[in-house]
Amino acid sequence: MLTNLQARDVATVLHPYSNLATLPRQGSLILERGEGVFVYDVDGKPYLEGMAGLWCNALGHGREELVEVAAEQMRKLPFAHLFTGKSHDPAIALAEKLKELSPMPAAKVFFCNSGSEANDTQVKLVWYVNNALGRPAKKKIISRIKGYHGVTVASASLTGLPNNHIDFDLPIAGVRHAACPHHYRFGRPDESEEEFATRLAAELDAQIEAEGPETVAAFIAEPVMGAGGVIVPPETYYPKIQAVLEKHDVILIADEVITGFGRLGEWFGSTAMKMKPDTVSIAKALSSSYVPIAGVIIPDWIDDALSCQSEKIGVFGHGFTYSGHPVAAAVALRTLEIYERENVLGHVNGLIPQFQRRLKALGGHPLVGEARGVGLVGAVEAVADKATRRGFDPKAGVAAKIVAFAQEEGLIVRAIGDAVAICPPLVITAAELDLLFDRLETALDRADHWAGAQNLRAA
């Protein structure tokens, strides 16, 4: 029986990434407040937020300093845009700070409101700049199977997940997908991670040659795949891939929407994963998700091309009403100040050994085929047969059942196919981290018992 709030929710709200047929029967988890790394439902039950919301709430809930800076900016200048040569101090100061922190030589920052918008902008910039440089055929963008880059028409096309394409008539023309760098699932028998990385680089080289290097403009990649299942590539993967890109004059777009601002123990995941991006997309932890803000960091040569072409046309015809919104910019700037002042990156690096030790230990659980991760992000992949790595029938919903058991135990995690993702707030304590894994292990035990009772391991 649904509560009144659940019934009202079902009657009015179209939920993203939900089964719209079953949700009216199950009802939503209605949250009321948050404090630190916990959120509380309308009945007062606490849940440890094991996904930092959607990979984004890095500083946890209840940061009054961010509330106050938002209120102060609202009183001073609640809105101003960046169109037609107008600007304001919060956007300027934030762009300056981001240029300072950038993992690549940065010239300018374009502001938008979400990671999807940032990656959509990346597509438009690639097309615009190559027109400006007299290369109208060099427009194709290569993403990767299981990569996640957003849900706009262009960014969902970059996303390499079937459910983002089926019946949306995607992907659009000019988008291609390369192999997924998941050694556990796609490595050949007896193929080392090094050999796997070498093969994927050779396959990418062949793919670009087949498309025609004069038609391929960019390769977009998350340092670590998030919504594709927390997939960590082999250590030498990016250096090998980068050599192929340089050979064919193909730029590397780093999608740092999840990995930016400390998740892997560095300001940017590109640094941690040995990537040398040409442009960078940012969002999520930029404001610790307190207000929507995102951006694209570009180098000098792209800035020069944009300037020349807009002079020719008369305007750079791209932007959003809320690009660089003063309240969002002020909150994001203060968020970055908190990261530095509280040495959040040092805190993360202090927790990484504990996080990875507890995560890897779950690899021995009878329900888990692989426990993978880096920094403070990870996943456990459920399998029906550990020896053969055979997965469960997708209709069984084993990962979803693990997540449901975890929620009953007071832990929020996320099912991604057969995997269960873990991405706690960066400020989680050592004791809270142990609590997270204790509750997850209990959920795995319950799911293992349930799978056995349902005879789900049968081939």
Give the residue from 319, 341, 363 where a domain finishes.
341
Do residues 353 and 424 share a domain?
Answer: yes
Q: What is the mean pLDDT of residues 59-64?
A: 98
Nearest residue to 408 (alpha-carbon basis) of 371, 362, 440, 448: 440
* Cβ neighbours of 134 (radius 10 Å): 7
Give the residue from 308, 341, 374 where a domain finishes.
341
CATH number at residue 156: 3.40.640.10
Task: Please name the residues in contact with 240: beta carbons below 8 A apart, sequence gap of 6 or more.
Answer: 197, 198, 200, 201
Do residues 15 and 72 share a domain?
Answer: no
Do residues 168 and 269 share a domain?
Answer: yes
Using alpha carbons, list the distances in angstroms from residue 3 to 8, 410, 414. 9, 20, 24
- Report the mean per-residue pLDDT for the chain: 97
CATH number at residue 402: 3.90.1150.10
Q: Which residue has the tokens 């998030």?
A: 226
Q: Tell me the two tokens of residue 169.
A: 């008539």
CB-count exposure of residue 248 (10 Å: 0-12, 13-18, 19+): middle
Do residues 120 and 225 share a domain?
Answer: yes
Do residues 252 and 154 share a domain?
Answer: yes
* Cβ neighbours of 9 (radius 10 Å): 17
Split at pLDDT 50, 70, 90, the class of 459 is confident
Q: Which residue has the tokens 């957003």?
A: 150
Per-residue pLDDT of 248-276, as tens digits, reads 999 999 999 999 999 999 999 999 999 99
Domain, as residue range, for 74: 66-341
For residue 370, is pLDDT > 90?
A: yes
What's the number of domains the chain is made of?
Answer: 2
Split at pLDDT 50, 70, 90, the class of 458 is confident
Tell me 36's DSSP state. B
Give the residue from 341, 373, 402 where a domain finishes.
341
Indicate whether 431 belongs to any domain: yes
Q: What is the mean pLDDT of residues 151-167?
A: 98
* CB-based contact 143:167 (threshold 8 Å): no
For residue 200, is pLDDT > 80?
A: yes
Do residues 45 and 130 share a domain?
Answer: no
Angle at 79 between CA 75 and CA 81, to 5 degrees: 150
Instruction: Determine the pLDDT at residue 161.
Output: 97
Indicate whether 315 belongs to any domain: yes
Instruction: Determine the pLDDT at residue 55.
Output: 98
Indicate whether 459 belongs to any domain: no
Instruction: Determine the pLDDT at residue 318.
Output: 98
Indicate whether 382 belongs to any domain: yes
Q: What is the mean pLDDT of residues 364-378?
A: 98
Instruction: Determine the pLDDT at residue 377.
Output: 98
Instruction: Determine the pLDDT at residue 385.
Output: 96
Nearest residue to 204 (alpha-carbon basis) of 142, 140, 275, 274: 142
pLDDT above 70: percentage of residues in the chain:
100
Indicate whether 266 belongs to any domain: yes
Q: Tell me the two tokens of residue 175.
A: 């988008």
Do residues 202 and 305 share a domain?
Answer: yes
CA distance 204 to 249: 13
Do residues 304 and 422 share a domain?
Answer: no
Instruction: For 431-448, give one letter per residue: b (16+ CB within 10 A) or e.
Output: ebbebbbebbbbbbebbb
Is the C-alpha dihedral spanning 49, 50, 55, 56 positive or negative?
positive
Do residues 248 and 360 share a domain?
Answer: no
Do residues 260 and 274 share a domain?
Answer: yes
Indicate whether 458 belongs to any domain: no
Higher per-residue pLDDT: 71 or 458 = 71
CB-count exposure of residue 149 (10 Å: 0-12, 13-18, 19+): buried
Do residues 86 and 138 share a domain?
Answer: yes
Split at pLDDT 50, 70, 90, the class of 70 is very high
Tell me 427's DSSP state. T
Instruction: Determine the pLDDT at residue 241.
Output: 98
Per-residue pLDDT of 424-442, as tens digits, reads 999 999 999 999 999 999 9
Do residues 347 and 337 share a domain?
Answer: no
